[in-house]
C-alpha cells in the first residue's frame, strides 16, 4: 500500500505558476490512533523542509486525498487541508 512505502514524490500545484516538486517521508505506525510524523521537503532544499505530526488515521485520509487528486488532475499532490496542518494554518 502507499502508506507502507514511507515516502512519496510529487509537485505542489501553484495556480498561475510552475509546480514545486516535493518529497514527503513518514514513519509507519500500526494503530490508527498512533502518531505519524511526516516531513515534506520542497524543491530539494533543506531550508524548505516542514514537519508535522498527526494521528495515523488522519495521515491515511490525506494519502487517500492524494489518490483522489491524482485521478482528477494526474498530479501527485496533497489537499489544501493537509498543507494547512503542515504549515500550521489550522
Rounded Cα gap, residues 15 and 50, in angstroms: 21
**pTM: predicted TM-score of the whole model, two decimal places:** 0.90
Q: What phi and psi values does residue 10 have, to the nearest 5 degrees?
A: -160, -160
Sequence-ordered strand ranges (E) for the chain: 7-12, 20-26, 35-42, 49-55
Q: Where are the domains of the chain?
A: 2-87
Rounded Cα gap, residues 72 and 53, in angstroms: 27
User: In tens digits, what is the pLDDT along the chain, a chain of 90 residues?
Assistant: 899 999 999 999 888 999 999 999 999 998 999 999 999 999 999 999 999 999 999 999 999 999 999 999 999 999 999 999 998 875
Identify the pLDDT of residue 15: 87
Identify the pLDDT of residue 88: 83
Rounded Cα gap, residues 43 and 49, in angstroms: 9
Identify the pLDDT of residue 10: 98
Amino acid at each position: 500500500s502507499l502508506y507502507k512505502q514511507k515516502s512519496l514524490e510529487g509537485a505542489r500545484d501553484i495556480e498561475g505558476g510552475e509546480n514545486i516538486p516535493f518529497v514527503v517521508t513518514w514513519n509507519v505506525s500500526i494503530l490508527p490512533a498512533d502518531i505519524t510524523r511526516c516531513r515534506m521537503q520542497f524543491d530539494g532544499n533543506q531550508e524548505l523542509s516542514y514537519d508535522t505530526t498527526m494521528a495515523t488515521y488522519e495521515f491515511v485520509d490525506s494519502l487517500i486525498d492524494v489518490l483522489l487528486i491524482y485521478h482528477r488532475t494526474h498530479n501527485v499532490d496533497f489537499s489544501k487541508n493537509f498543507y494547512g496542518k503542515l504549515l500550521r494554518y489550522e
